[in-house]
Amino acid sequence: MTMNLKSKLFILKITGVLCCLCFYTSAHSQKDSLVLNNRDIVVGEIKSMKNGVITIETDYSKNDFTIKWSKVNEIYSKNNFLITLKNGDRINGSLQSIEEGRKLRLTSIENQTNEAVMDDIVFLKGLKSTFWSRAYGSIDLGLNLTKANNLWQYSMRSAFGYLTNKWQLDLYYNDIRSRQDSVEPTERTESGISFKYFLPKDWFMAASLDFLSNTEQALKLRTTGKLGVGKFIVHTNRTYWGLAGGLSLNNENFSNEQESRNSLEGFMGSDLNLFDIGDLSLKNTVYAYPSFTESGRWRVDFSLDAKYDLPYNIYLKLGWTFNYDNRPAIAGNDFDYVVVFSVGWEFNR
């Protein structure tokens, strides 16, 4: 009886050890691995790769590791990602290195395979079952207080988006307010929603609805709806540059006595992102709107943002926004500009 009990205890111990080993192996077999150019290996969960930087979460650090994509020689993962190639192809699937020299095999969830090199990958996004794994966003805040004339200035810029392998949805809200003794308050509020549907070869269809209220130009509310098509001209780990064009419907209500205006416009636009400059990135957009129904009228919207990344997803941003209208509601106020310095935080990007 004693030997039988000892045998049972021994079997239980062996079974427990084997179960632990199986659990350990199973848990770690799902880990992603990066082999760097210097042959160092980083094991963890790949969260994303964008702007030439890959982010991986590890068990041995509280903070995620960020590594330049050009420093990664091999990658191994069985997890699914949203994958974007520089030729515009978008794949929902996994990727594995198949030999040294930065060569990869891409396998879609439909089990279709493709081969690429590391430099062909311009975007990765780890897929999970939760909504937040595909969402991203940011918020910036700025505040300026001056004793002279009791000057008070406040600014906020925020954005939220959701990305799939076929489409992208973005929302934004920006607000600037200024108060000063013996001076009329200054307010500028922008908000909007945009939808982009990805087509082959880096083409896309785009639709957006934007709202602008601006005391400088007596705009109580400008509503602009756009529908068009665009293409990424450059799509690499250093630069994104896209062009777009289409039709725009513009409705304006003013805070002075001028009657409201409606116009059908065309639009031509450029979006440029530069991010292979250390922790600094630059984003520039410019859109021109020639009117079809108001002969000789045209408008321009321009923005330039310089962002410097800090630890913990915090950043510093200097932004410049410029609006021009050759037929404004108030004579002499044909343009308006705003320069904002702010501190912000972003997630999942």
Tell me: the pLDDT tens digits for 76-108? 988 889 899 988 888 989 999 987 667 899 998
User: What's the pLDDT at 128?
Assistant: 67
* pLDDT greater than 60 at residue 20: no
48 beta partners: 55, 125
| Of residues 178, 137, 173, 177, the one with CA closest to residue 157 | 173
Q: What percent of the chain has pLDDT over 90?
A: 50
CA distance 250 to 222: 7
Determine the 3-state secondary structure of 182 from DSSP: coil
Prediction pTM value: 0.79
In eight-state DSSP terms, residue 333 is -
Eight-class DSSP state of 130: S
Going by pLDDT thresholds of 50, 70 and 90, the confidence category of residue 5 is very low
The whole-angstrom separation of Cα 66 and Cα 195 is 29
Task: Give Cα 208 distance to the centre of its chain.
Answer: 16
Residue 211 has pLDDT above 50, yes or no: yes
Residues of the chain above pLDDT 70, percent: 88
Can you tell me whether residue 327 is helix, strand or coil?
coil
What per-residue confidence (pLDDT) applies to 10?
44
Using 50, 70 and 90 to split pLDDT, how confident is the model at 27? very low
Residue 151 in this model has a pLDDT that exceeds 60 = yes
Average the pLDDT over each of 41-45, 180-184, 297-301 and give the range with the smallest value.
Answer: 180-184
Of 305, 307, 315, the C-alpha closest to 347 is 315
pLDDT in tens, 165-178: 889 999 999 999 98
247-300 pLDDT per residue, tens:
999 999 998 878 899 999 999 999 999 987 878 999 999 999 999 999 999 999
Q: Summarize pLDDT for 111-137 with one digit per residue, the tens.
A: 899 899 999 999 998 876 567 778 899
- Among candidate residues 58, 62, 54, 30, the one with its CA nearest the CA of residue 42: 58
Asked if the model's pLDDT at residue 189 lies above 90, the reply is yes
Q: Which of these ranges, 71-85, 88-102, 182-196, 311-325, has the smallest mean pLDDT?
A: 88-102
